[in-house]
Structure 1
Amino acid sequence: MRLKYFYFPTIVLLSACSVGPDYKGPPVIKGVTDSQKPFARAVGIQSASVASEKMWWVSLDDPLLNDLILRTRKANPDISIAIARIRQGRAETRLQGANFFPDLSSNTSYARARFPSAADGGPASNVEAYFQGFDASWEIDIFGEKRRALEAAKANRQSAEAALDDVYVTLEAEVAHTYVMLRDQQQRQALYQCSIESLERTVSLAKERFQRGTTSTLDVLRLDQQLQQVRAEAQALTAEREASLDKIAILVGTKPGDIDGDLSRSASIPLPPLSFTISNPEEVLKRRPDIRQAERKLAASTAKIGQAQGARFPKVKFTGLIGTGGLKSSDLTRFDDFTAYLAPQISWDFLDFGRNAAKVQSAKGGRDEALANYHKTVLVALQETEDALSKFKNDRIQVAVLARSEQDAVTAVQLTRQRYQRGTASLMDLLDTERRQISTRQSLVQQQAALTIDYIAIQKAFGAGVSVAQ
């Protein structure tokens, strides 16, 4: 009797243990995740003291861009794919959780059998049997195989949630990047048109001078070749602009051409704020969704080691049945006379010729791969952040230099125009100075777009935007 009462508590205590390694949180990568140093390439960038804006794109002060990003967050197919994967992960978690409970099923059966005649030549006999009842089975998770499976399912679900955040971060940056490129292409296309008009006037003037014998055929051909080159560049830019329009349309979840009317009118390039919050490496490693995704995959692969090790130990299973029945249909309602049994069962696949051991080694290999991938993801994240900060800092200097150069070019046009009006400079000199000013302006516009794209890359590297309510 004492053994009877000792048996169940012993099973419960045994089921409280789990074989395999316990996951202890994100691993420390010496010299990387334990470093308290700020980003090396952030030196020289003015940092704001205010908290960073969750919707970082608002700082670009472009209402149309804000609308495009919000539309993308609602309608892009990649988001729907990521959300569907989260639903799969949640369903798998519920499935693994349900494995802790008994399997219950109902059973109603009828059987009819005919037995041959006896040896003395008597008639054959027919026998009928009726049964209805319930049966159950319950496998006790003594060594934690099921608990490790549930841990893995939860970690995989959390990895899918981090993947959704990563999709948001990527799409927000992609929309902003493409939008800035579109505005850059529109601005430069307008400048190309000014340059074409200036060159057409110059070629026309050169042809008049050729007819008067004051210039050579080579000069006319050289100017005409330059005009055709600029026209070709402008045409190529038209194709790039249309490709940007199509890409934005796909990002917001509609077909190419549907948003041309909203974006066809040229507008200025949105510029980054003068100062913004610069996160430190520790914050970036915690916020970036791709790092969280890699860390959760590491947690899941660690749990799978215990799941594989648990399969190597004995399993204890209880099966039971209760019901009524007999040789007549009326026996189904005789609840005072019922059949019942409860049977414990121990099974142990101890001679499997190394199958389970191989599964454990495979799980350990998966854990080691996930650990290396986590390490790589962290290093890539830090590299992307440092590169984005460095490029922003240097491109900002180039913008300042080109802005001064453009101002000098504007002054040169003004002085040449005054000389032309006084008759000390030719129309050819004036047109040539205007073209140089247009070219300088094109370079400035292109560099301004590059600076804003650098700012977008910084926000993406920081993992900004993932805290926006889904």
Structure 2
Amino acid sequence: MKRALPFLSAPLLASCVAGPNYHVPRNAMAERPDAAAPFLGSGATVSQEKLPPRWWRLYGDPRLDSYVEEALKANTDLRVAEANLRRATAIVREAEAARSLSSGVSGQALGSRVAGPTSDLPASLSYSLGLELSYSLDLAGSIRRGIEATGAQAEATLAARDQVRVVVAAAVTRSYARVCTANIGLMAARRVAETRQEALAVSTRLAQGGLGSRMEVERARAAAYNSSALIPQIIAERQAALLELAALMGRAPSQYPKEIETCDKAPSIMRPIPVGDGAALIKRRPDIRMAERMLAAATANIGIEEAELYPKVNIGGTAGTAGPLGGLLAPSSFGFSIGPLISWSFPNRKAVHARIERAGADADAALANFDGSVLNALQHTETALSAYGRARDRLNDLQSAAEAAEKASRYAEKSRRLGQTPLLDVLNAQTDYAQTQASLSVARAELVDRQIDLFLALGGGWE
């Protein structure tokens, strides 16, 4: 045992655990003050209040709430993610089992007969039974680093599962909103088509009465057909959104939610959207958590490789009985032994150091990926904030345009009743109003889409 002490001193002096202890590096992007600052795109349309865990409830739509909850239970991608999480948890338990007491049982029966002149003698029968117990002292910390690595990988898998929840919640909300906004757009498109048809009928009558030209009739006809051509496309988009919603909720296509097929009110948020700041985003986004946990696992792998430079020490014992079969379990047949077992294979140090260097390179790559995930999250959120603000501005302008077009349509109708404006001019004014309403419905749909992009960038919905 005294000869083993020099070999054991190195890992013992190194706090019994090889490799670096993990902590988030001080130079990591997540630790920088400018990454934790308020967003550049913050304005009147958003606030720095904390994002609620179930952000879709900000729309105040119980039906939407029920659809999201159903999807979070039945979505097939989430079921795969849950299975991956169970697998990762089992791997952690397997790693933890390495520091438990291990045991083994052996048994053997032998029979022999001497050949030659003594072949008529009876056969000699013997037996042996044994029990072995062993426990690893893990002086170099290989097992502990292995548990750290698998634990961090399991937490990364958990974050991956949470990311799927974020995507599913956003996809359900988007599909639901597209069904409703498609119906609003469909009503506006039909109104435009109706006014175009009326204008075509008036142009035809005027041409027949010699008060118009065939060119005006054909132009009106082309406008009427172009307006009607938009309707089938909107219907197809609505059906696609319904079928996508069914798939997200784990339903067959025939079981899509028919109760919203005629939904004519788009989900809306009447108050500034709570977005928090960069610090909250870094803590919340699952992809950042996943990258940070993979960095922790890569750091632990360095210790696993460094532990190969040190001997492995097990404490164990054996007990058993052996002897002729005729003296089975006789007191004199029992024996035992106990003591430490030092195993050191004198590794190829160049190969071990190469693996240590490789593990260090993996950790550097994991740190770069961690930094990249933070930068990507910040850029993604700032882009979504900018797009949401511009969509809000566009909607405001179109609302003003729709109000002006409505006034023009009313004035034209009033003027026609006084005999001051031809019917065709009135219809054109009504068509302009209908077209601004159609553009307004598209802008409302885009605004909801940009809201959902923003919620997706913020990474909520998994807590």
Normalising by structure 1, we get a TM-score of 0.90
How many pairs are equivalent?
A: 461
Work out the CA distance in 2 between the residues paired with 1:352 and 1:17. Answer: 22
Residue 335 of structure 1 and its aligned partner are, at CA, apart by 4.9
Match in the other structure for 1:460: 456
Which amino acid is the alignment partner of residue 69 of structure 2?
L
Measured after TM superposition, the shift of residue 361 of structure 1 is 2.4
Amino acid in the other structure paired with 1:99: A
- What percent identity do the matched residue pairs reach? 27
Q: Deviations over 1:143-182 (max 9, x none)?
A: 1111110000111111111122211112111111222222
* CA distance in structure 1 between the partners assigned to 2:369 and 2:58 by the alignment: 34
**Which deviations, in whole Å up to 9, do the C-alpha atoms of 1:351-391 show, x marking residues without a partner?**
53743233222212221111111011000100111112112
| Matched-pair contact (CA < 8 Å) for 1:72–1:253 | yes
Give me the whole-angstrom Cα distance separating, in 1, the residues matched to 2:9 and 2:366: 36
Secondary structure at the aligned position of 1:142 is classed as: coil
Deviation at 1:115, TM superposition (A): 3.3
SS at match of 2:99: coil
Matched, 1:244 2:241: yes
Distance in 2 separating the partners of 1:18 and 1:412: 81
Deviation at 1:348, TM superposition (A): 2.8
Alignment of 1:253-402 (within 5 A): 253-328=250-325, 331=328, 333-335=329-331, 337-342=333-338, 344-352=340-348, 354-402=350-398
Residue 104 of structure 2: aligned partner: 105
Per the alignment, residue 79 of structure 1 pairs with: 78
What displacement does 1:454 show?
Answer: 2.3
Deviation at 1:322, TM superposition (A): 1.1
Structure 1: tracts of 5 or more residues without a match: none
1:429 matched residue in structure 2: 425
Distance 2:120 2:340 in 1: 40
Residue ranges of structure 2 left out of the alignment (5+ in a row): none
Alignment of 1:125-204 (within 5 A): 126-204=123-201
Matched to 1:458, the amino acid is: L
Tell me: CA distance 1:127–1:318, structure 2 relative to 1, closer, same or farther (3 Å): farther
SS of structure 1 residue aligned to 2:265: coil
Structure 2: distance between partners of 1:134 and 1:179: 65
Q: Measure the CA separation in 2 of the matches of 1:80 and 1:146.
A: 31
Question: Residue 32 and residue 230 in structure 1: after superposition, are their counterparts in 2 closer, same or farther (change >3 A)?
Answer: farther
Q: Deviations over 1:302-357 (max 9, x none)?
A: 101110111232222345321223221651x3356313234644333335374323
**What's the RMSD between the two structures over aligned residues?**
2.7
Deviation digits for residues 8-33 of structure 1 (CA, Å, limit 9, x no counterpart): x9899579511111111365436973
- Secondary structure at the counterpart of residue 134 of structure 2: strand
- Contact persistence 2:110–2:126 (CA under 8 A): yes
Determine helix, strand or coil for the equivalent of 2:342.
Answer: strand
- Please, what TM-score do these two structures have when normalized by structure 2? 0.92
- Evaluate the alpha carbon distance shift between residue 450 and residue 137 of structure 1 in structure 2; reply closer, same or farther with a 3 A threshold: same
Sort the Cα spacing of 1:27 and 1:445 in 2 relative to 1 into closer, same or farther, 3 A: farther
Structure 2 matches for 1:23-38, cutoff 5 A?
23-25=22-24, 27-29=26-28, 33-35=32-34, 37-38=37-38
Q: Residues 329 and 231 from structure 1, CA distance in 2 versus in 1: closer, same or farther, beyond 3 angstroms?
A: farther
